[in-house]
Amino acid sequence: MGNSFRALFKKDCRMLVSGKFFLMAIGFLALYTAYVDLGYIRFMQMPPYNVYLYDPAGTQTERSPLVQTVSSMEAMDAALLSDANGVGLDASTGEVRVVLYEGAEHVDRHRADYALSLLELSASPAPEVLGTNTPEQKARKEITCEMLFFELTAVGFLGIAAVLFKEKGIGVIRVHAILPLRKDLFILSKLTVFLLSDLVFAILLTLLNVGSAEGAAVLPVVLLQTAILSLMMALVGLLCALLLKDLRQFTLAYLVIAIFAATPVFLSANTSVKFDWINWHPFYHVYMGLKNAYFGTAISPVYYAGAAGAIVLLFLAVQLAFRREIGKEG
Amino acid sequence: MIEVKDLTFSYSKDKQALHGLDFTVEDGEIFGFLGPNGSGKSTTQKILTGILQGYGGKVSLFGRDISNLHEQEFFQKIGVLFEFPYLYADLSAVDNLNYFASFYPKEQRRDVGELLDALEFKPDFLKKPVSSYSKGMRQRVSMARALVNDPRLLFLDEPTSGLDPSGAVLFRKIIEQERKKGTTVFVTTHNMVDADLLCDRVAFISNGNLVALDTPKRLKEKNSDHRVVIDYLYQGQRESKTIEAPELEAGIPFAHDEIISIHSQEPTLEDVFIQYTGRGLS
pLDDT in tens, B122-137: 888 888 999 999 898 9
DSSP state string for A266-319:
HHHHHSS---GGGGG-HHHHHHHHHHHHHHT----HHHHHHHHHHHHHHHHHHH
Structure confidence at residue B279 (pLDDT)? 63
The string of pLDDT tens digits covering residues B16-46 is: 888 888 999 999 999 999 888 888 888 898 8
What percent of chain B clears pLDDT 90, i.e. is strictly above it?
Answer: 37
Q: Specify the range with the lowest mean pLDDT, choosing from A17-21, A51-55, B71-75, B99-103.
A: A17-21
Whether pLDDT at B281 is above 60: no
Structure confidence at residue A201 (pLDDT)? 94
Same domain? For A227 and A295 the reply is yes
Query: What integer is the mean pLDDT of B54-73?
Result: 84
Which chain B residue shows the shortest CA-CA distance from A167? B88
Structure confidence at residue A161 (pLDDT)? 83
Same domain? For A210 and A314 the reply is yes
Structure confidence at residue B84 (pLDDT)? 85
Which segments within chain B are labelled E, that is strand? 2-12, 15-25, 30-34, 56-61, 64-65, 78-81, 153-157, 184-189, 201-206, 209-214, 227-234, 237-244, 258-264
Same domain? For A79 and A223 the reply is no
Out of B72, B86, B88, whose CB is closest to A180? B72
Give the DSSP letter of residue B111. Answer: P
Structure confidence at residue A121 (pLDDT)? 67
Whether pLDDT at B280 is above 70: no
Judged by CB atoms closer than 8 Å, whether chains meet at A327 and B87 is answered as no
Hey, where are the domains in chain B?
A: 2-90+150-220, 225-265
Residue B73: list chain A partners with CB under 8 A.
180
Same domain? For A197 and A295 the reply is yes
Same domain? For A299 and A238 the reply is yes
Number of domains in chain A: 2
Out of B78, B88, B99, whose CB is closest to A7? B99
The string of pLDDT tens digits covering residues A222-278 is: 999 999 999 998 998 889 888 888 778 888 888 887 777 677 777 777 777 777 787
Would A93 be classed as within a structural domain? yes
Out of A14, A175, A178, whose CB is closest to B78? A178
Same domain? For A19 and A112 the reply is no
Would A125 be classed as within a structural domain? no
Q: Determine contact: A178 vs chain B, CB below 8 A.
A: yes
Query: What integer is the mean pLDDT of B182-195?
Result: 89
Output the average pLDDT for chain A: 86
Same domain? For A108 and A55 the reply is yes
Structure confidence at residue A252 (pLDDT)? 83
Would A122 be classed as within a structural domain? no
Estimate to the nearest angstrom the gap between the alpha carbon of B186 and the chain centroid: 6
Which chain B residue shows the shortest CA-CA distance from A172? B86
Quote the minimal CA–CA distance from A309 to chain B in Å: 28
Q: Determine contact: B131 vs chain A, CB below 8 A.
A: no
The string of pLDDT tens digits covering residues A57-96 is: 888 778 888 889 999 999 999 999 999 889 999 988 878 8
Mark out the alpha helices in chain A (DSSP H runs). 2-18, 21-35, 41-45, 73-82, 105-117, 135-150, 157-169, 172-177, 183-210, 212-243, 247-255, 262-270, 282-295, 301-326
Whether pLDDT at A212 is above 60: yes
Structure confidence at residue B282 (pLDDT)? 53
Judged by CB atoms closer than 8 Å, whether chains meet at B51 and A172 is answered as no
Judged by CB atoms closer than 8 Å, whether chains meet at B51 and A179 is answered as no
Same domain? For A17 and A86 the reply is no
Same domain? For A108 and A239 the reply is no
The string of pLDDT tens digits covering residues B221-273 is: 777 777 888 898 988 889 888 888 777 787 888 888 888 888 877 777 888 88
User: pTM value?
Assistant: 0.78
Which chain A residue shows the shortest CA-CA distance from B50? A178
Same domain? For A146 and A179 the reply is yes
Q: How many CA atoms lie within 13 A of A41 on its CB side?
A: 17
Structure confidence at residue B100 (pLDDT)? 93
Q: Compute how many other C-beta atoms are within 10 angstroms of the C-beta atom of residue B39.
A: 24
Output the average pLDDT for chain B: 87
The string of pLDDT tens digits covering residues B189-209 is: 888 888 888 899 999 898 888
Structure confidence at residue B229 (pLDDT)? 86
From A93, A117, A141, the end of a domain falls on: A117
Structure confidence at residue B141 (pLDDT)? 94
Whether pLDDT at A136 is above 90: no
From A68, A93, A117, the end of a domain falls on: A117
Estimate to the nearest angstrom the gap between the alpha carbon of B158 and the chain centroid: 7
Structure confidence at residue B146 (pLDDT)? 94
Q: Determine contact: B11 vs chain A, CB below 8 A.
A: no
Would A30 be classed as within a structural domain? yes
Structure confidence at residue B79 (pLDDT)? 93
Residue A174: list chain B partners with CB under 8 A.
51, 82, 86
Same domain? For A111 and A79 the reply is yes
Structure confidence at residue B196 (pLDDT)? 87
Out of A7, A14, A329, whose CB is closest to B102? A7
Would A123 be classed as within a structural domain? no
Range of the domain at A63: 48-117
Crossing angle of helices A301-326 and A212-243, in 10° steps, is 40
From A86, A117, A148, the end of a domain falls on: A117
Superfamily (CATH) of domain B2-90+150-220 = P-loop containing nucleotide triphosphate hydrolases (3.40.50.300)
Which chain A residue shows the shortest CA-CA distance from B130? A170
Quote the minimal CA–CA distance from A238 to chain B in Å: 19
Residue B84: list chain A partners with CB under 8 A.
171, 330
Query: What integer is the mean pLDDT of A303-327?
Result: 90
